[in-house]
Amino acid sequence: MIIPENSALIVVDLQDGDGCDGIPIMKGSKTYENAPKIIKFFRDRQLPVIQIREMHRADMSDFGRELDGVEGVHCLEGTRNVEFNPLTAPAKTDYTIGKRRYSAFLGTDLDLLLQCKGIKTLFLIGGLTDVCVRFTAVDAHQHDYHFYVVTDCVTGSSWKAHEYALKNMKYLQRESNITALDILEGEVQ
């Protein structure tokens, strides 16, 4: 595929953890197999890599309504769960943004950063497909960005929720569902 030169890679919530954070995760995702390759592809071509991570204050003051559903307490500051995963950890040239909500646009400077960099096209990888990735995609779309989601580099809360979220993103933008190979065999123009 053609990767426009005004593109950025958004890495959503690929965080470290002790495996007991309060979030359900589908089994068998290829995210960590593909993410390092995709991140390298963007870095090698000097396209911005923006690493998002979810973090909540240790006194739990900023959870809002996030504990009213399926998710338990998660991503507390001061625990390993807020650190970036070593497999995909930010390089010096990557940008990092902490967030308190699902959407990487809500209460963050992501839109400002993208505008300053002249970015118009976003490639999304990470998790969860049906929560933070999807709601970041929806906000990107509502903010007039073109977006692509790398279907074999995102992980959902369940396979079913993952599939429906991808379908939902396709409803918003016809060509939005791509694969890791589309990028790795792609060309920047």
Partner 1 sequence: MITIPENSALILVDVQDSKVQVPLYDGEYQQKRRKFYHDNVEKVTRYFRALKNIPIIHIIELHRNDLVDFGRELDGSEGIHCLEKDSYFWEPAAPAEGEYVIPKRRYSAFFGTDLEILLRGLGVKHLFICGGMTDICVHYTAVDAHQYNYHVHVLKEACGTHSPEEVAQAALDSIEYLQTGSVISVNDLSYK
> Is the CB of residue 32 less than 8 Å from the CB of residue 87?
yes
Residues 163-182 binding partner 1 (CB under 8 A) are: 164-165, 167-168, 170-176
Burial 83-121 (b: 16+ CB within 10 A, else e): ebbeebebeeebbeebbbbbbbbeebebeeebeeeebeb
Among 161, 177, 186, 188, contact with partner 1 (rule: CB under 8 A): 161
The residue (of 18 and 68) whose beta carbon lies closer to partner 1 is 68
* Angle at alpha carbon of residue 159, lines to 28 and 101, rounded to 5°: 100
Site string for partner 1, 126-145 (x = CB under 8 A): ----xx---x--x--xxxxx
> Is the CB of residue 53 less than 8 Å from the CB of residue 96?
yes
Q: Is 112 in the site for partner 1 (CB under 8 A)?
A: no
In the chain, the amino acid numbered 101 is R
The residue (of 71 and 94) whose beta carbon lies closer to partner 1 is 71
Where on the chain is the footprint of partner 1 (CB under 8 A)?
Answer: 64-66, 68-71, 101-103, 106, 130-131, 135, 138, 141-146, 157, 160-161, 164-165, 167-168, 170-176
